[in-house]
Chain A
Amino acid sequence: MSAVMTVGPAVSSVVSAFNVDSLTHNFWALTVDGLTYGSIYALVAVGYTLVYGVLRLINFAHSEIFMLGMFGQYATLMLLGFTPNGNAYTEGTLLTIVYLGIAMLGGMAVSGGAAVGLERVAYRPLRKRGAPSLVFLITAIGASFILQEFVHFVLPKLTNQKLGGVNAQQPIRLVEPTVQFTFLGADVTNVEIVIFVAAILLAVATERFITLTKFGRGIRAVAQDPVTATLMGVSRERVIMLTFLIGGLLAGAAALLYTLRVPSGIIYSGGFILGIKAFSAAVLGGIGNLRGALLGGLLLGVMELYGQALFGTEWRDVVAFVLLILVLMFRPTGILGESLGRARA
Chain B
Amino acid sequence: MRRSTPQLAGTALVLAVGLVLAGCSSKDAGGDTPSATDGASSAAPAGDLSIQPLVQIDSKGAEVPAADSSNAADPAGDGSAKCDPTTIAMAGALTGANAALGINILNGAKLAVDAHNAANKDCQVTIKQFDTEGDPQKATQVAPQIAGDNSIIGLLGPAFSGETKAVGPVFSQAGLLSLTASATNPDLTKNGWKNFFRGLANDAVQGPSVAAYMVNTLGFKKVCVVQDDSDYGVGLAEQITAGLGDAADSACAAKVKTGDKDFSATVQIVKGESPDAVFYAGYYAEGAPFASQLKEGGVTAAFVSADGTNDPEFVKQAGSAAKDAYLSCPCGPAPEKFAADYQAKFNVASGVYSVEAYDLATIMLKGIDSGVKDRAGMVDWVKNYDGDGLARHYKWDADGELASALIWIYQVK
Contact = CB atoms under 8 A, between A and B. Distances in A.
A105 interface: yes
Interface string A83-126: 10111111111111100110011001000000000000000000
Contacts of A270: 261
Contact of A26 (B47, B269, B292): B269
A179 interface: yes
A90 B320 CA distance: 14
Contacts of A93: 21-22, 24, 26
Interface string B18-41: 101110111111111110101111
Contact of A313 (B39, B46, B254): B254
B11 to A, nearest CB: 9
B17 A194 contact: yes
B17 A198 contact: yes
Between A108, A177, A313, the greatest number of chain B beta carbons within 10 A of the residue's beta carbon is seen for A313
B319 interface: yes
Contacts of B95: 166
A100 to B, nearest CB: 7
Contacts of B24: 93, 178, 180, 190
Interface in A12-60: 21-22, 25-26, 29-30, 33, 37
A208 B1 CA distance: 11
Contact of B319 (A85, A91, A180): A85
B13 A202 contact: yes
A96 to B, nearest CB: 7
A193 B20 contact: yes
A90 B28 contact: yes
B348 interface: no
A94 B22 contact: yes
A201 interface: yes
Contacts of B251: 21-22
Contact of A92 (B36, B289, B319, B320): B36
B9 interface: yes
Contacts of B9: 201-202, 205-206
A168 interface: yes
A316 interface: yes
A208 B251 CA distance: 47
Contacts of A314: 229, 255-257
Interface string B214-257: 00000000000000010000000000000000000011001111
A170 B6 CA distance: 30
A81 B3 contact: no
Contacts of B288: 264
Given A202-B13, A313-B255, A87 B18 contact: no
B67 interface: no
Given A26-B272, A86-B47, A313-B254, A205 B8 contact: yes
Interface in B313-329: 315-322
Given A30-B268, A176-B27, A264-B289, A86 B42 contact: no
Interface residues of B, number: 72
Contacts of B30: 87
A11 interface: no
B344 interface: no
A235 interface: no
A201 B10 CA distance: 9
Contacts of A281: none
A270 B97 CA distance: 14
Contacts of B5: 205-206, 208-209, 213
Given A198-B13, A205-B8, A313 B18 contact: no
A249 B41 CA distance: 27
Given A104-B13, A213-B2, A264-B317, A80 B265 contact: no
Interface string B254-290: 1111000111111011011000000000000000110
Contacts of B41: 80-82, 89, 91
B319 A177 contact: no
Interface string A188-223: 011001100110011001101100111000000000
B66 to A, nearest CB: 30
B31 A87 contact: yes
Contacts of A305: 264-265
A167 interface: yes
B266 to A, nearest CB: 5
Nearest to A104: B13
A179 B317 CA distance: 23
A85 B43 contact: yes
Contacts of A213: 1-3, 5
B317 A86 contact: yes
Given A178-B27, A198-B16, A253-B13, A33 B21 contact: no
Contacts of B25: 178
- From A97, A100, A168, A194, residue with most partner B Cβ within 10 Å: A97
A243 B315 CA distance: 44
Contact of B269 (A80, A97, A313): A313
Given A88-B29, A90-B28, A198-B13, A187 B21 contact: no
Contact of A101 (B17, B39, B265, B266): B17
B13 A201 contact: yes
A151 interface: no
A92 B35 CA distance: 11
Given A91-B36, A97-B18, A86 B319 contact: yes
A167 B96 contact: yes
B255 A312 contact: yes
B340 to A, nearest CB: 27
Residue among A95, A180, A189, A190 with max Cβ neighbours from chain B (10 Å): A190
Contacts of B31: 87
A314 to B, nearest CB: 5
A231 interface: no
The residue in A37, A88, A206, A267 that gathers the most chain B C-beta atoms within 10 A of its C-beta is A88
Given A87-B319, A105-B10, A26 B268 contact: yes
Nearest to A202: B9
B403 interface: no
A302 B377 CA distance: 61
Contacts of A184: none
A337 to B, nearest CB: 24
A325 interface: no
10 smallest beta-carbon distances between A and B, as pairs: A86-B319, A176-B29, A205-B9, A209-B5, A308-B265, A1-B250, A81-B39, A265-B261, A264-B289, A86-B46
